[in-house]
Amino acid sequence: MNRRRLLALSASAAALSLLPGMRLTARAASVFRRRRPTERNWPSRAEWAGLNRATGGNLLAIESPLEACNASQSACDAVFDDLKNPYWIGDQPGVTQTLGWVDAWQTQPSIYAVAATSAADVAAAVDFARDNDLRLVVKGGGHSYLGTSNAPDSLLIWTRRMNDVVLHDSFTPKGCAATEGEAAVTLGAGCMWLQAYDAVTTKGGKYVQGGGCTTVGVAGLVQSGGFGSFSKHYGSAASSLLEAEVVTADGHIRIANACTNSDLFWALKGGGGGTFGVVTKITLRLHPLPDFFGGVDFRVKAASDDAFKRLIGAFIEFYAAHLFGDRWGEQVSFRGDYTMNVGMVSYGYDTQAAKDVWKPFLAWIAQRSADYALAYDPVIVSGPAQRLWDAAFLQKNIPSSIDVNTAAGAPPGEFWWSGDADQVGQYLDAYESVWLPATLLQPAHRGALSDAFFRASQSWGFSLHFNKGLAGAPPEAVAAARNTATNPAVCDAFALAISAAGQGPSYPRIAGHEPDTVKGRRRRTAIHDCVNVLRSIGAAGSYVSESDYFEADWQRSYWGDNYNRLAQIKRRYDPTGLFFTHHGVGSERWSADGFTRLS
C-alpha cells in the first residue's frame, strides 16, 4: 500500500470518528508534508506539462509584479502606481489587493497557476495538487485581508477568467421539486461585484445582494457570509445563494443546493472562502429594486470631552428612534479628535424624505453651535436605484464619488468608490471587528453604550457598519441568515464595529515603500484596546472577512455554535486538509506547510 493510500484511509477513519454519537479519541499526528520546489519529489517538468495539457494550455508560471523593483526605480514606481488600481491587481495572479499585515503575512506568488476557464480545469488542478501533495490556493478577486488567496511554493487556481453572467427569469435548483422558479443570476467565480450589479441592476432593473466594494470577488464574498450597503434590507449575500457548482478535494464537480449535497451547500453559505472546495459558479436569488437609493454625508466636530460625549449620546438616541430598521445602512465613525463622520445610505427614500429623517438631529447640532462645528454642509441626496452602479450616471452627477479604471485596455464603466481607495494596495497594521447586540440600544443600556463609544474612540477610532448587523432587518431576511453558517450573533446585532489601520501601498524590503512596523505594532495595541472596550459591554463575535489575523478563539468568534457542524462537513469533503486557509474551518489540525497536528 502506498503512502497516499494509507493517508487517505487514516483520514477516512478520522472522519468516521466525528459521526454523531461517536467520540474522537486522541491519536498521533501523521507524518506528512506538502512538497516544496527544492525537494526531489517535486513534480517533474513532464508532469507539469501534463497539467498544462489537461487544462488546455492554461498553466502559467507566476512572478510577482513587485519583482520589477529589482530592475529599476522607474519600473518600481510604475508598479506602485498600478497598485492603486484594484482592477489591475485583480488581473495579476502574482499579487493580492492587500499586500500584507505587520508581523502576520505578506503577499507572495505561487510557483504556477492554472488560469481556469471551466470547472474541468479546476478539477484537473485539484487532482494534480492532491496526487502530488502540493499546497493549493484559490484566488478570485484576491480581496482577502487575512491573505487566504496566496501562498508561497503553491499551485494557484486562478478563477479570474471564469466571469460569465447569466440571468434567469425562472430558476429551480437541480434536484429540487419543480416549481414556478424564481428570478436569479448565475455568476462565474471570477466575477467582481461591479459586473454583477451592471448586469442585474443597471441593465436588468433588479437587485442582487453582494459586496459594497465593487472589486470584491463574488464567490469569496458569498462563502464568507457577505454584506453590502443594503444588507439591512436584503440580508447577507449567503442568504440569497440558491445553488453552487463546486470542485471538492476528490476532484469531483458537484452541485450543491438545498436538495443536493445540502450539507455542503449550508457550509458554503458563510463557512469561509476556499475551505470546502473550489466554487466555480454561484446562482443567487434576485430581489425587487426600490425607486430610490440615497446617501448622507457630513462630519461634525465637538469642542470638548463633555461635548463629544453628549454628541455620541444624542446620536445613539436618534439612531434608535429614527434609523434603526431596514432603511439605513453603511457607516458612522467616532475618532479621538472628537469627530463623528456620517457616511450612510438609504433604501427607498427620495431626497426630501431623507432630509426630513435627519432634520431633528441636524437641528440639535445647529442649536449648540458653541459646542459643535460642521466641516461642510451636510449632503443628503437620493437618486434612481437603477443608476447606483452606472458609471456614466455617476460621472455626470457625482463624479467625486468614484475613481474610474483608466488602465490601458480597460473596458468602459469600471470604477471603484473613492472612499475605498485607501484599501487598495494596503499593508495592514491591525484590523478587528465585533458585533454589537441590539439590546444595547434599549434605553436602560444607552448610557453604558455611549460611555463605551467615547472611551473606545480615545484609544483609536472605530466605525459602526449598520448594514453588517441584521437586527432590524425584515423577519424573512433574518430567518434566511439564521440558515447560514455565519455566526448567529449577526442576526441579533444592530451593527458591526470595526477598528483598523494600514499603510500603503507598502511592501517589505523595497526602498521607499517599506511598512513602518514600529508604528504598526503601536497601532495594533491601540486598536485592541479600543475593541476591548466594546467587548466589555457585551459586544461579541467577529466577521471572518474583516477580523484580526491573531484572533484567539476564532472558531467561536467567526461561527459560534455552528463550528462543530462545519468541522464535520470539512472532514467529510476534505479529510486531508487540501484546502487550507488561515483560521479556516479545520485549520487547527494542520500547519500552514502541511504538517498535521494532534487532533
> pLDDT per residue over 555-593, tens digit each?
999 999 999 999 999 999 999 999 999 999 999 987 655
Amino acid at 254: R
The answer to whether 276 and 268 are in contact (CB under 8 A) is yes
Strand partners, 463: 333, 498
The answer to whether 165 and 191 are in contact (CB under 8 A) is yes
Show pLDDT as tens, one digit a residue, over the chain (599 residues): 333 333 333 333 333 333 333 333 333 445 578 999 999 999 999 999 999 999 999 999 999 999 999 999 999 999 999 999 999 999 999 999 999 999 999 999 999 999 999 999 999 999 999 999 999 999 998 889 999 999 999 999 999 999 999 999 999 999 998 777 899 999 999 999 999 999 999 999 999 999 999 999 999 999 999 999 999 999 999 999 999 999 999 999 999 999 999 999 999 999 999 999 999 999 999 999 999 999 999 999 999 999 999 999 999 999 999 999 999 999 999 999 999 999 999 999 999 999 999 999 999 999 999 999 999 999 999 999 999 999 999 999 999 999 999 998 999 999 999 999 999 999 999 999 999 999 999 999 999 999 999 999 999 999 999 999 999 999 999 999 999 999 999 999 999 999 999 999 999 999 999 999 999 999 999 999 999 999 999 999 999 999 999 999 999 999 999 999 999 999 999 999 999 999 999 999 876 555 444 33
C-alpha cell at 179: 416549481
Q: Name the helix (H) or strand (E) containing 61.
A: strand 59-61
DSSP string spanning 5-42?
A: HHHHHHHHHHHHTTSTT--PPP-PPP------TTSTTS
Amino acid at 70: N
Amino acid at 431: Y
Distance CA 243, CA 166 (A): 13
Distance CA 218, CA 359 (A): 37
Q: Name the helix (H) or strand (E) containing 428.
A: strand 427-437
Beta strands in 362-425 (DSSP E): 372-374, 379-384, 402-404, 415-417
Beta strands in 240-291 (DSSP E): 241-247, 253-257, 278-285
What value, to the nearest 5°, has the Cα angle with vertex 501 and ends 496 and 506? 135
The fold for domain 165-285 equals 3.30.465
Q: Within 10 Å of residue 341's Cβ, how many Cβ atoms?
A: 17
Instruction: Look at residue 62 and give its three-state secondary structure.
Output: coil
Amino acid at 155: L
CA atoms within 13 A on the CB side of 372: 24
Instruction: Look at residue 55 and give its three-state secondary structure.
Output: coil
Amino acid at 89: I
Strand partners, 415: 404
| Nearest by Cα to 127 from 457, 519, 509, 578 | 578
The answer to whether 438 and 202 are in contact (CB under 8 A) is no
* C-alpha distances in Å from residue 23, one per residue of 12, 378, 394: 15, 60, 58
The residue extents of the domains of the chain are: 3-159+561-589, 165-285, 292-346+369-376+421-555
The fold for domain 292-346+369-376+421-555 equals Vanillyl-alcohol Oxidase; Chain A, domain 3 (3.40.462)
Which region holds residue 371: left if phi is over 0, alpha if psi is between -120 and 50, else beta?
alpha
Q: Name the helix (H) or strand (E) containing 558.
A: helix 554-559
Instruction: Look at residue 538 and give its three-state secondary structure.
Output: coil
Q: Within 10 Å of residue 578's Cβ, how many Cβ atoms?
A: 22
Instruction: Look at residue 473 and give its three-state secondary structure.
Output: coil
Q: Does domain 3-159+561-589 have CATH number 3.40.50.300?
A: no
**Cα–chain-centroid distance for residue 350?**
30
Same CATH topology for 3-159+561-589 and 292-346+369-376+421-555: the answer is: no
Distance CA 528, CA 522 (A): 10
The answer to whether 467 and 229 are in contact (CB under 8 A) is yes
- Phi/psi at 470 (nearest 5 deg)? -100, 0
Distance CA 256, CA 174 (A): 8
- Phi/psi at 547 (nearest 5 deg)? -145, 180
